[in-house]
Structure 1
Amino acid sequence: MEKIKKTIWFRYAGSFLLVLIFLLLSLNIIPSTLFVQLDHQIYDTQLRTTMPGRLESQIVILDVDERSLARVGRWPWPRNQLAQLVNTLFDQYQINSLGFDFVFAEEDKAGGLEVLEHLATGPLKDFPLFQTTFAKLRPTLLHDTIFARALTDRPVVMGYYFKQRNDKGGQSGQLPPPLATLDKLEAQQFPGMQPESFGANLQILQNQAREGGFFDNPLVDQDGVFRRVPLLQVHNGGIYGSLALNLLRTALGTPTLSISPTGDAIWLDDGAFRIPVDRDMAVLVPYMGPQGSFPYISAADVLEGRVAQDKLEGRIVLMGTTAPGLLDLRSTPVQHVYPGVEIHANIIAGIMDGRIKSRPAEMFLIELSALLVLGILLTLLLPRLSPMLGTLLTASSLAAVVVATLLTWQKGMVMHVGLLLSLTILLYIYHMAYGFFVESRSKRQISKTFGQYIPSELVDEMTASGSDVSIGGESRTMTVLFSDVRSFTTISEGLKPDELTSLMNSFLTPMTRVIHENRGTIDKYMGDAIMAFWGAPLHDPEHTRHAVRSAFQMIEAMQALSVAFKAKGWPELKIGVGINTGTMNVGNMGSEFRMAYTVLGDAVNLGSRLEGLTKQYGVDIILGQGSKAEVVDLVCRELDLVRVKGKAEPIAIYEPVGFTSEVDEARLSELEQYHQALSLYRQQQWQEAEALLTALQTAEPSRMIYQIYLDRIAHFKVEPPDELWDGVFTHTSK
């Protein structure tokens, strides 16, 4: 009894330690980057599964896309052309308002005005005709002035950006007037971001526009994803609004803007629009859906008047780009490559629809309380419950957390439950594992289950790695090897039973050693045949290479055995090896009387068929096409395209010659000639193929494959194949 009490208290101590660690993580006393990422993933999943997924036609994106660049020219476009675009949007299409997701920081010198002014004051100053013509032409070359004139008295918001650090470039351009001005103390206490410099538009452009708005986002999460975007920032005592916020205000007739007394919301039009914000004056972007949730209209189509009137009339228009070369593509929770201009559109739509999610300050206290209560509850109950009841309690706790998360989400609030879920699961694992000596039992199980199949070195490696070594059935891509002694029946009939037993032991031992040394698993011995596989129970990324090397070494071992067998008066043994790679089912299979860790599947059956074909092609080893594809530095001879018994689809079969570093130039030259002959054969160019094969056979008369194709060519010369002949040879036996 005393020992039981001591064990329970030890479990309590470990459990309370876990709870304490998670409380410290929650309070950020211990860094919790991993759990922050988990919260992000949970948030992203909730966002994706609850997006409206509809097209929001009230906001239109005027896209400087690749088609526009091809038709109008590379960006930036001349400002007189942008003026034409603005005039067309307001005069012809009667849009509501326009926001530029661009910054025009430099003068437009595309018209050549600077050169002409130099000529007018220099070499051509005494030419009256030039001076008269230039004086008439000059107003048409003032592109910035023309663009500024198009912006005058129109609801246009110019985009600019803040820089959080004052870099070497300093600041440029003209900021718009601030929304409000703070004294020094108020500015210091303001909760939003406070950048040090900016990059803004030319003064002539910003002064003529109705408003300006920043489009930078200093609050991108550590994984590079745009989840939060600030609506307000403070610079030199002035409060400035984002492009999305000020474009919406402009579209609504510039309503009053105020900040709630608690600082958790921005109000527009005396509270008609309430925008929940966090401590950085930022909002969670309320994504409508993946890219394309808003109508996209090519800027070139507007310039050319190709757009229907109802597509733009009365709409809020955001001009931006999706062209990859203009670098305005972002990573978001809904899509890894997402146009930055559509992020602004989502914010505007979310404010108008009231879909901005909030995270109130009291939510942290709720999460902290839930962490403490649930941690103590599980700590006290799990040690005293049976595994089944403990599982039910944990599942119920997880379900309660999920339900609470969904309910708060439906009410427009975001709850961070990564720590809560993780603590619940870890407490369950800790208490279920404790007392069962998981590690030692696992070692014994591995040794008991796999010791009869694989070498002891792999058993030790499996135990040390802690890898998943479940014996339950699963599907994996693996490689299987079959080897068989040729004419074994005849050989066995000439030996006494004790001699046969001794011979088999002498043969199987070195073959097994080769397989084990190359990380293979023995599936079974079938008389004189061996079946082995690679890729289980341990995953092996080079399973095919190991199988092929085993095959080479088995052939070499047989040559060494021949000398020893001859000394004992035993017959010489020759083996054929078939290797195939593919998807197989592996696991402990059998009956209640006997189980075996084995592989099953079509890929396994094909490996057996390939071994049977070695005799017909006079080779030691045959690979399936799946195996050849896995080992890129393996030099192979393509033997044939065949249909084996039981398979309808043809496959290519290969004889491995050696690895690239091991094959000499003479062999490579012979293989090149052979493959050329094979290609001619499949093109039904019998004479040319026959000539090459005859030459090859003369040089190497013992190679059976040459005679096989010479016999086929002789047959086809007499009885040509039909029009549907695909070069495939069908084998009717196993």
Structure 2
Amino acid sequence: MARLLQKYGARWLLGLLLCAAAILHTANVLHADTLDRMDTFVSGLRMRLETPVLDPRVVIVDIDEKSLAEVGRFPWSRNVMARLVEQLTVKYEVAAVGFDVSFPEPDTSSGYDVLKQLAQGELQQVPGLQGQLARLQPQLDYDGLLAQALQGQPVVLGYNLSGSQAKGMLPKPAFTEEALNGRTVDAYKVAGYEANIARLQSAALSAGIFTAMPDRDGVVRSTPLLQKIGQGYYPTLSLATAAVALRARAINPLFEGTVDTLSESQRANGGLEAIGLFHAEGNIRIPVGEGLTTTVQYRGPGGPQGGGYRYVSAADVLRGAVPAEQLAGAIVLVGTTAPGLNDLRATPVNAQYPGVEIHANMISSILDGSFKFRPDYASQFEAVQLLVLGLLLALLLPVLAPAWSILLALLAGGAAAAFNFYLYSAHDLVFNVSSMLVLALALFILNVAWGYFFEVRRGRALVSRFGEYVAPELVAEMAENPEKYNMDGESRELTVMFVDVRGFTTISEGLTPKVLREYINLYLTAMSTDIRDSHRGTLDKYIGDAVMAFWGAPVAFPDHASRGVATALLMQASAQRLNQDFLQRGWPELKIGIGLNTGQMHVGDMGSEIRRAYTVMGDAVNLGARLEGITKVYGVGIAVGEVTRAEAPEFAYRELDLVRVKGKNEPVAIFEPLALDSALAQPARDELARWHAALALVRSQQWDAAQAALEALQAGAPHGLYQLYLERVAHHRAHPPGAGWDGVTTFDTK
């Protein structure tokens, strides 16, 4: 643990400080406008990600360009609006009509007042004019026609709020301050309004406020459900229209608990939990926040092509050309999308969003009883998420490799975003997520920057020291933990390899210097690639045409012997391919011998003050060099020591001999690896068994039987090894070694 603290303690501490800062922001102790703007962006993105679903319950009768072309410029005369109301309520039998237009002034477009004034002045002597005007008065009283059409129908008029001027007639409030019994409800208060003329409002069933209260950036994300005028609380157009459609008997505030049990936010609002819409089939609870606001849940990008609501042209309704099934029983909102009528709003889903469709979205949410809202415990919930996410990333990112760090940061950020969207879409809960995403990014950048500024130097030094010796992927692995690797001398078990070209002196004498350079470069490149890249060996040095390599350092591999044997077999295959190419070029034949040995060796940065190299030394290394030379004697391409064979048992081996090499008194068994044991073909397996039986006959001095067995092997598959032992049998028959013979072959030269 002490080592971990020493290595990662500083990064852990900085990560925890970032986590604490994020939690303090959520608790409003620290404040960052950038994060607020990001949350605003995410809020809109969540809405845009939801697929629009057509709500057939709400239909928008659009005063569109087609309607303006057919009926005339807007505002239309009240007799036209009366016909529109009659068509919707009588012919199509809609559930409710909400007007996203207001009627604050009397309609004098019929000319009746002018005719009446003329009849009482210059034209008062015209016979019958007064009577004719009296008969025409009902037809020319457009306000009266509209009032008559409104009478007893489920129609909700709309009206505006204004500075301090009170104009027109207000509808009956949803409830009054007196009805709160001393409770305080936090609502937006206004002194002025521009309501509909009394004649129309008296005839209408209800009225609602046009509410478009954008945020500081001008985007409409939420809307008040009610606003306070004087002592009364008046509903918006969407709430009033939904109430009429549902035949609601009351709109009342819903309180929870006593003042002592309320949260701080609830107490600021007098304990108000929601607005209740009470109707015959039950009640709908609409959660509200500050100012009795609720979030608008937008269904698609809006407009006739937005997919959220069906739009029908007002001109088609007036002509009765709309199929009855599209309007019957629906809640209708009368509004306009014509660009010149200035009823377009900026919303999170569209900068040019029809204002009438904002009301439609609210009505849909009310009908569904589904509202996106931010609960009172939101800050605490977000703080817990930040704590879990922050601890996870702060503790794990420093100890992970770069690729895993990227993956973890992406997964953590993605999981936070996905969980946030799940709560939003499945449970209607609105939580901020930007703090978590920024925290994940900040912790990742912290660790990347730390790694770059504090660890890259050590990694670069390691790359420069070991880059020539080992494969790039091993250098990358070492660079992740540079303190684990150094060039200090140490003793450990390794596997060493020596490779040499057969007859290289003759080859070099027969080639020009330029061709010889290409010959040796191609050969050394192929061998080095097999050693370093294919099986992660450490390339020690070139000694003329010879190559020296080892496995198990600087990166420790428990299977270093197996890697060495596999590399030797691969190199022989590569040499055969190169030989075919060389022969086609007219170059001398290429054959190589490989010696492998496993044992305790000294490894490290060795040499003089002038030149040093990372290499291995020891008796086991010397034996490896001797084994490479011995391959020529036995006519094989590879010779390995008995320790190598024991530690790489997955290969099939042919035992070559018991030898005593120069400089060592103890005999060692030497072997030729043939292939992976599982890949050895049956004929080769049979030949191998016959060879080992023949070798046993030689060692037991059964010369006749040994000779017969060897001759049979040589006849079936000629090999220099079989010929060598036939010659030895002949020698021993002529010069018997005696009863104390141990079967060891002694080599007096290197």
TM (normalized to structure 2)?
Answer: 0.54
In structure 2, the residue matched to 1:36 is: 36
Instruction: From the superposition, tell whether residues 345 and 391 of structure 1 become closer, same or farther in structure 2 (CA, over 3 Å).
Output: same
In structure 2, the residue matched to 1:416 is: 432
**What does residue range 523-534 of structure 1 map to in structure 2 within 5 Å?**
none
Counterpart-to-counterpart distance in 1, 2:134 and 2:404? 93
- Which amino acid counterpart does residue 174 of structure 1 have in structure 2? M
In structure 2, the residue matched to 1:551 is: none
Q: Which stretch shifts more, 120-129 or 246-255?
A: 120-129
Would you say the 8 A contact 1:184–1:237 is kept in 2? Answer: no
In structure 1, the residue matched to 2:275 is: 266
In structure 1, the residue matched to 2:242 is: 248
Would you say the 8 A contact 1:59–1:315 is kept in 2? Answer: yes
Counterpart-to-counterpart distance in 2, 1:66 and 1:393? 54
User: Which one of 335, 341, 366 corresponds to residue 326 of structure 1?
Assistant: 341
In structure 1, the residue matched to 2:123 is: 124
Three-state SS of the structure 2 residue aligned to 1:319 is strand
- RMSD over equivalenced CA pairs, Å: 3.0
Structure 1: runs of 5+ lacking an equivalent: 445-734
In structure 1, the residue matched to 2:159 is: 160
In structure 1, the residue matched to 2:227 is: 233
**2:208 is equivalent to residue 199 of structure 1:** no
CA deviation after TM superposition for structure 1 residue 100, in Å: 0.3
Instruction: From the superposition, tell whether residues 86 and 436 of structure 1 become closer, same or farther in structure 2 (CA, over 3 Å).
Output: same
CA deviation after TM superposition for structure 1 residue 109, in Å: 1.6
In structure 2, the residue matched to 1:342 is: 357
CA deviation after TM superposition for structure 1 residue 232, in Å: 1.7
**What does residue range 127-526 of structure 1 map to in structure 2 within 5 Å?**
127-163=126-162, 166=163, 170-183=165-178, 189-218=184-213, 220-262=214-256, 263-269=272-278, 271-291=282-302, 292=304, 293-409=308-424, 410-437=426-453
In structure 1, the residue matched to 2:106 is: 107
CA deviation after TM superposition for structure 1 residue 79, in Å: 0.7
Instruction: From the superposition, tell whether residues 396 and 309 of structure 1 become closer, same or farther in structure 2 (CA, over 3 Å).
Output: closer
CA deviation after TM superposition for structure 1 residue 99, in Å: 0.8
Three-state SS of the structure 2 residue aligned to 1:260 is strand
CA deviation after TM superposition for structure 1 residue 185, in Å: 8.6
Would you say the 8 A contact 1:111–1:141 is kept in 2? Answer: yes
Would you say the 8 A contact 1:286–1:347 is kept in 2? Answer: yes
CA deviation after TM superposition for structure 1 residue 116, in Å: 2.4
Counterpart-to-counterpart distance in 1, 2:183 and 2:233? 12
Percent identity, aligned pairs only, is 39
Three-state SS of the structure 2 residue aligned to 1:205 is helix
In structure 1, the residue matched to 2:575 is: none
CA deviation after TM superposition for structure 1 residue 106, in Å: 1.2
Counterpart-to-counterpart distance in 1, 2:356 and 2:445? 46
Counterpart-to-counterpart distance in 2, 1:145 and 1:433? 76
Deviations 1:394-452 (A, max 9, x none): 334324313421331212212211111111111110122125239999xx9xxxxxxxx
CA deviation after TM superposition for structure 1 residue 20, in Å: 4.1
Instruction: From the superposition, tell whether residues 428 and 88 of structure 1 become closer, same or farther in structure 2 (CA, over 3 Å).
Output: same
In structure 2, the residue matched to 1:47 is: 47
Three-state SS of the structure 2 residue aligned to 1:98 is strand
Three-state SS of the structure 1 residue aligned to 2:136 is helix
Would you say the 8 A contact 1:187–1:237 is kept in 2? Answer: no
Counterpart-to-counterpart distance in 2, 1:187 and 1:213? 26
Counterpart-to-counterpart distance in 1, 2:435 and 2:195? 42
Three-state SS of the structure 1 residue aligned to 2:389 is helix
Three-state SS of the structure 2 residue aligned to 1:272 is strand
Would you say the 8 A contact 2:174–2:252 is kept in 1? Answer: no
- Which amino acid counterpart does residue 204 of structure 2 have in structure 1? A
CA deviation after TM superposition for structure 1 residue 184, in Å: 10
Would you say the 8 A contact 2:223–2:295 is kept in 1? Answer: yes
CA deviation after TM superposition for structure 1 residue 31, in Å: 4.2
Counterpart-to-counterpart distance in 2, 1:134 and 1:405? 68
Three-state SS of the structure 2 residue aligned to 1:111 is coil
Three-state SS of the structure 1 residue aligned to 2:286 is strand
Counterpart-to-counterpart distance in 1, 2:328 and 2:313? 16
In structure 2, the residue matched to 1:468 is: none
TM (normalized to structure 1)?
Answer: 0.55
Of the two, which has the highest radius of gyration? 2
In structure 2, the residue matched to 1:72 is: 71
Would you say the 8 A contact 2:78–2:107 is kept in 1? Answer: yes
CA deviation after TM superposition for structure 1 residue 215, in Å: 1.9
Instruction: From the superposition, tell whether residues 90 and 403 of structure 1 become closer, same or farther in structure 2 (CA, over 3 Å).
Output: closer
CA deviation after TM superposition for structure 1 residue 190, in Å: 0.8
Structure 2: runs of 5+ lacking an equivalent: 257-271, 461-750
Counterpart-to-counterpart distance in 2, 1:428 and 1:204? 67
CA deviation after TM superposition for structure 1 residue 8, in Å: 5.4
Deviations 1:542-585 (A, max 9, x none): xxxxxxxxxxxxxxxxxxxxxxxxxxxxxxxxxxxxxxxxxxxx
Three-state SS of the structure 1 residue aligned to 2:82 is helix
Counterpart-to-counterpart distance in 1, 2:274 and 2:228? 16
CA deviation after TM superposition for structure 1 residue 84, in Å: 1.7
Instruction: From the superposition, tell whether residues 93 and 184 of structure 1 become closer, same or farther in structure 2 (CA, over 3 Å).
Output: closer
Would you say the 8 A contact 2:174–2:250 is kept in 1? Answer: no
Would you say the 8 A contact 2:27–2:379 is kept in 1? Answer: no
Deviations 1:591-648 (A, max 9, x none): xxxxxxxxxxxxxxxxxxxxxxxxxxxxxxxxxxxxxxxxxxxxxxxxxxxxxxxxxx
Three-state SS of the structure 1 residue aligned to 2:173 is coil
**What does residue range 560-709 of structure 1 map to in structure 2 within 5 Å?**
none
Instruction: From the superposition, tell whether residues 389 and 298 of structure 1 become closer, same or farther in structure 2 (CA, over 3 Å).
Output: closer
